[in-house]
Amino acid sequence: MSDWDAAKYHRISDPQVAWGRSVAARLAPAPGERILDLGCGTGRLTEEIAAAPGIFVVGLDRSAAMLQEPATRRRQGQTPGSGAGSQTPGLAYVRGDGAALPFVAAFDAVFSTATFHWIPDHDRLFRSIHVALKKGGRFVAQGGGSGNLEHLYGRARRLMRSERYAPFFTSWSEPHHFENVADTERRLTTAGFERIDVSLVFAPVPFERPEAYAEFVAAVCLRHQVDSLPVEDRDGFMTRVTEEAIADDPPLTLDYWRLNISARKAGG
């Protein structure tokens, strides 16, 4: 499977950034804190958090392409901070796996948005975050939750089973993992967290133009499905998805559900 088109994601990821800013407001970073942005993507939010006085932020992502984007923008004079692996004070980027973090008692807070649904094992994920936090450390996150994009993914599955496209999906497995509130609370408790608060909220995202909808869906929501198709079949697949979305009520609207998480590590 190909890596993300990071430059495109950086350009079109306004919905994720808007959600992330609301999560960052709950984070409320304080001067002197060390914060991990788990699944930082192209660093748009990472840089905003690091801009607060006295904050040190590490942005971590599995995608090499995503981590290269901040370095590219920095070379072009578009962003402050550092490239991947740099030791610039206040901001650094590291490639890593959120379910196997290379940190022990290193952070006052772990922040994450639009990432956890790409990590299949949430038991390992929460244990890893717990280990990475200092005593009393905060865990504030949001990702796709139960029911997320079910209308879109159901439509895509029907199309994938059609005679035209079925041969390209014979070994298909879903790349995402959308969790519910009860199981998330249980996993957080088992991992050792306390003061746990988990909620699921509906957050639909409308698009004004079919072209913008198709670009976003192909690059973000159905990236793996589109990548599974021959290049010559991709436009036709997305045309079918978009035409059906135009007929929806409301039209061209993605049915996002967001799982909000707040918890603390004991002590401190």
pLDDT at 246 over 50: yes
164 pLDDT band, cuts 50/70/90, is very high
Helix 181-191 with 122-132: angle, nearest 10 deg: 40
pLDDT at 74 over 50: yes
pLDDT at 1 over 70: no
Whether residue 182 is contained in a domain is answered as yes
Whether residue 77 is contained in a domain is answered as yes
Looking at residue 4, its pLDDT comes to 84
Looking at residue 79, its pLDDT comes to 54
CATH number assigned to the domain comprising residue 115: 3.40.50.150
Looking at residue 77, its pLDDT comes to 64
Range of the domain at 199: 6-146+176-203+255-265
Q: How far is CA 143 from CA 24, 30, 38, 120, 203, in A?
A: 13, 23, 11, 13, 11
pLDDT in tens, 165-180: 999 999 999 999 999 9
Whether residue 224 is contained in a domain is answered as no
How far is residue 238's CA from residue 256's CA, in Å, rounded to a whole number? 19
- In terms of Cβ atoms closer than 10 Å to its own Cβ (0-12, 13-18, 19+), residue 265 is buried
Whether residue 185 is contained in a domain is answered as yes
96 pLDDT band, cuts 50/70/90, is very high
Least confident of 84-88, 97-101, 152-156: 84-88
Looking at residue 266, its pLDDT comes to 94
How many domains are there within the chain? 1
Helix, strand, coil distribution of the chain in percent, nearest 5: 45, 25, 35
pLDDT at 227 over 80: yes
Looking at residue 86, its pLDDT comes to 43
Looking at residue 268, its pLDDT comes to 67
